[in-house]
Chains A and B, each alone.
Chain A
Amino acid sequence: MRTLLALLTCLIALPALAAPRSYTLDAENSAVAFFYDFGEEEIRGNFTLEEADISIDFDAVQNSSVSVRLRVAGGHAGFPFATEAMLGPRVLDAANHPEMYFSSTSIRRTQAGASITGDLTIRNVTRPVTLDARLFRQQGAPVGGFDELVVELTGSVDRTDFGADGWREWAGDTVRLQIFATIDAE
């Protein structure tokens, strides 16, 4: 009887899981870290995630989607001089382009998680980028609990592709990204 009941709940649960589930961002527990070369050193900067719409289809990952928006002016580039330089017209030009966007165009499953290709818009310039995604369940979450997840996105962009090409003699072209987003099921 017990096994039958368990089987039943499984069967009921399956269709619910098979459809994509929508998630909203828990901005407090999310962060965008980025890394760039400054002379001999690697500097860590960060942005705060403003908004994210995520829908995950656990059975057919390709049906998932991610779109993210973040506010440029909330960014820090490691130390005050660099932050001001980054927000200034030579790099992100925060005054004229207050936001950055990412929107997925295709997602495929990989060994470690998923590979997300999408359009990244910086300074009003849109270029394709590919990020590696991994999903984690919150520590202590019940088995099969998918209500609160952590998404890790990693990848790198060449800032000169977006016209954010100022201070190249100071800071490297490649910006490595590491995004941790905590998301809650709707």
Chain B
Amino acid sequence: MPLRNTDTTFGWLSRLIHWLMAVGLIAMLVFGTVLKTMEPSFANLWMYDAHKSFGLLLFMLVLLRIIWHRLSPPPAPLSGVPLWQERAARWAHRTLYALMILVPLSGWIGSAATGISVRFFGLRLPQVVPPSAALDTAGFAAHSLLTKLLMAVILLHVLGALHRGFVSRDSSLRRITRGV
């Protein structure tokens, strides 16, 4: 199993990050939604720290992913599908990257602005922004809105990938799952 990406294939590191983030993001979208509807109590305070920690972990993963793709560029999308599909896929990928950065960043900014220290699995992080009512409100408003957008784009992305795999039947889906 090659580590690096080639002109036509994904190496294992790119595929590993892709699937870790896929599982992580979907789980976090569910987790965050549950968090919002939960009865506040002592017993579930820890869940906020857990949400922040895993969210920051995903933030690191997307940064690692971007750096890795500079070092080892991923293969170009396969052609042979209608132009609108190609465009939709490119647009979805760009939006996904933007959201994978902005979603955790907005959560982090909103959280830090409340004055409550943000911890990464127990490790207290330096304050990214000072306590501020405006950043608190704006950060969480953005976090709430962008996570909804992320849900929509992930849905499109999954539908598009399944379409490629089972309707167009090209190797798009296979090369990110099995690498060939």
Interface pair A95/B41, CB less than 8 Å apart: no
Residues from chain B with a CB closer than 8 A to the CB of A41 are 42
Can you list, as one digit per residue, whether each of B16-45 has a CB less than 8 Å from chain A (1) or not (0)? Answer: 000000000000000000000001111001
Q: Which residue of B has the minimal Cβ distance to A91?
A: B115
Tell me what chain B mostly uses at the interface: helix, strand, loop, or mixed.
Answer: loop
Give which listed residue, B40, B114, B115, B131, contacts A39 with CB less than 8 A: B40
Interface size on B (CB < 8 Å)? Answer: 15
Task: Given A89-B133, A90-B133, A95-B130, check contact A84 B42 (CB 8 Å).
Answer: no
A74-116 at interface with B (beta carbon < 8 Å): 81, 84-85, 87-90, 93-95
A-B contact count (CB 8 A): 42
Q: Which residue of B has the minimal Cβ distance to A43?
A: B42
Q: Is B78 an interface residue (CB 8 A)?
A: no
Q: Which residue of A has the minimal Cβ distance to B135?
A: A89
Tell me what chain A mostly uses at the interface: helix, strand, loop, or mixed.
Answer: loop
Q: Which residue of B has the minimal Cβ distance to A92?
A: B115
Task: Given A88-B131, A89-B131, check contact A38 B115 (CB 8 Å).
Answer: no
Interface pair B41/A39, CB less than 8 Å apart: yes
A sample of 10 cross-chain residue pairs with beta-carbon separation below 8 angstroms, ordered by A number, consists of A39-B42, A40-B41, A81-B45, A84-B115, A85-B116, A87-B115, A88-B116, A89-B114, A89-B136, A90-B136
Binding site for B on A (CB under 8 A): 38-41, 81, 84-85, 87-90, 93-95, 166, 169-170
